[in-house]
Amino acid sequence: MPRSSNDKVPSAYVADGAWPHAALAPDAPVSAHFAQALARNLERGLASSGQSLRTLAEATGINHTTIGRVLGGKVLPDIGTLARLEVALGFQIWPGLAALPTSPPAE
């Protein structure tokens, strides 16, 4: 899936710790912050629903490796993928503006 504004893959902005619970670099773009919050929400959705990557893949028609890459911060999902994941989980995973850090991120 293409990345926004030539940003690196989201996990490339990890400064300390392990994705998606890591501290991001000060110059991390907003896409990295949103992808990190999305991955955390997707983890929560999987845990609360009791689904595995494979069962979620079957329910959504999205390849389990793609879901794993979203969780791993290797890709940004498109809106269709996001919508199918949310419907299958019954859980909102798009973080919205809450994903933004308190200080403005790099553009």
Given a cut of 90, is residue 103 above it in pLDDT? no
**Can the peptide bond before residue 20 be classed as cis, meaning omega within 30 degrees of 0?**
yes
pTM over 0.75: yes
DSSP structural state of residue 91: S
Domain boundaries, the chain: 29-94
Q: 106 falls in which pLDDT band (50, 70, 90)?
A: low
Residue 4 confidence (pLDDT) = 55
b/e for 40-59, b at 16 or more Cβ within 10 A? bbbeebbeeeebebeebbee
Q: How many Å apart are CA 46 and CA 27, to the nearest integer?
A: 30
**In this structure, what token pair is assigned to residue 40?**
């955390």
Given a cut of 80, is residue 10 above it in pLDDT? yes
Identify the CA nearest to 67 among candidates 90, 46, 95: 46
29-94: CATH number: 1.10.260.40
Task: Answer whether 18's CB lies under 8 Å from 95's CB.
Answer: no
